[in-house]
């Protein structure tokens, strides 16, 4: 099975993580409760379920950009 990362998946994962971090900075402790708290934890789970961002970036670097393995 060939793994092909999707650029939009990489971008969206980064955006979601940045939103979750910003919510934590803006809302403080309140960001860990209710809907925000659930969403902040779920963002991490989604990035793991989709394949870690770093693994996908490595695949893009090697297969698309032709860079050597790190």
Distance, in Å, from the CA atom of 12 to the CA atom of 18, rounded to the nearest integer, reads 10
Write down the pLDDT at residue 46.
74
CA distances to 15, 39, 60 from 33, rounded to whole Å, are 21, 10, 36
The residue with greater pLDDT, 2 or 68, is: 68
Domain positions in the chain: 7-64
The residue assigned the tokens 């695949």 is 59
Q: What pLDDT, in 10s, does the model give residues 11-42? A: 777 888 888 889 889 999 998 888 888 888 88
* Mean pLDDT estimate for the chain: 80
Q: With 70 as the cut, is the pLDDT of residue 1 above it?
A: no
Evaluate if pTM is beyond 0.75: no
Distance, in Å, from the CA atom of 24 to the CA atom of 30, rounded to the nearest integer, reads 8
**Mean pLDDT along residues 56-63:** 82
Angle, alpha carbons 51-36-19 (nearest 5°): 55
The residue assigned the tokens 């979750």 is 20
The residue assigned the tokens 């409760």 is 33
């Amino acid at each position: 099975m060939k793994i092909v990362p999707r650029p939009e998946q990489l971008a969206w994962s980064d955006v979601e993580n940045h939103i979750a971090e910003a919510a934590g900075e803006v809302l403080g402790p309140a960001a860990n409760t209710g809907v925000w708290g659930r969403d902040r934890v779920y963002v991490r789970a989604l990035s793991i379920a989709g394949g870690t961002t770093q693994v996908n970036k490595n695949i893009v670097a090697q297969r698309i950009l032709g860079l050597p393995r790190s």
